[in-house]
Amino acid sequence: MNAAIVTARAGSKSIRDKNVHPVGGRPLLAYPLQAALDAARVDAVYVSTDGAAIAEVSRRMGCAVIERPDELAGDEVNHGDVIRHAVEHVAEQRPRLANVVLLLGNTVMIDGELIDHCLGLLDERPDLDSVMTVWEAADDHPLRALEIRDGRLQPYGDADRQVSTERQSYPKAYYYDQGIWAFRKECAARRDGPNPWWWMGRNCHPVVRTWVTGRDVHTPFDVAIAEWWLGHRPESSAP
């Protein structure tokens, strides 16, 4: 069986009560929950949280709540440890658990069809450990990254690197797009995935989406983008 786990903590500093902040007339958390509930390949939906308001929205939508222990509450906890705790909780309740879809509680840019697409890849490809939605870098390519040292902008990391201004000459680079992590349950215990996503296993398959489809919400600017997307989104966000 397959389970969806949505991680959503309380105590956001950028937007107060961010995960239940109204977006398009609904709590932000309702969008990933609805996507998981709409997915035909998902058998159960759980929410890992340390917030009472988040738990209330989750239960109202018919989802089970995983209450985080004190050591996994707050904003300085490693997300991977939260994910492992949640996977172990679900696996204990549901011994037949095979695959997990992990969703963030602060994005609207997913749907049930995309979740089913990712889980379908795990069913079709026994060689895969996981599937991750990503977007391809362009002007934000890591070879163009800068840092501030001594008050001056410098190339990030390697100060002596020489990079062409022609971005098409760079090797392609991809970023997790805040959309979907789908993985086999045992990956969360192995810790051998691509750093820093160690719960994803060694063989992680990319699902490339349009830049930057999976943007999550951290600021009022992001809320405006999410509401625009809700009014203009395609019928499906699956590739």
Look up residue 29 and give its amino acid: L
Look up the CATH superfamily of 2-134+176-232: Spore Coat Polysaccharide Biosynthesis Protein SpsA; Chain A (3.90.550.10)
Q: Give the H or E element holding residue 208.
A: strand 204-208
pTM: 0.93
Provide the pLDDT for residue 66. 98
Backbone φ/ψ region at 25: left (φ over 0), alpha (ψ -120 to 50), beta: left
Residue from 28, 236, 239 nearest 131 by CA: 239
For 113, how many CA atoms within 13 A lie in the half-sphere containing its CB? 7
DSSP letter, residue 126: T
- Would you kindly state where each structural domain of the chain is located, as residue ranges? 2-134+176-232, 138-171
Q: What is the mean pLDDT of residues 174-185?
A: 96
Provide the pLDDT for residue 236. 67
SS3 196: coil
Tokens of 142: 């890591």
Tens digit of each residue's pLDDT (9 = 90 or more) over 211-224: 777 788 999 999 99
Cβ-based neighbour number of residue 100 at 10 Å: 27
Tens digit of each residue's pLDDT (9 = 90 or more) over 91-116: 999 999 999 999 999 999 999 999 99
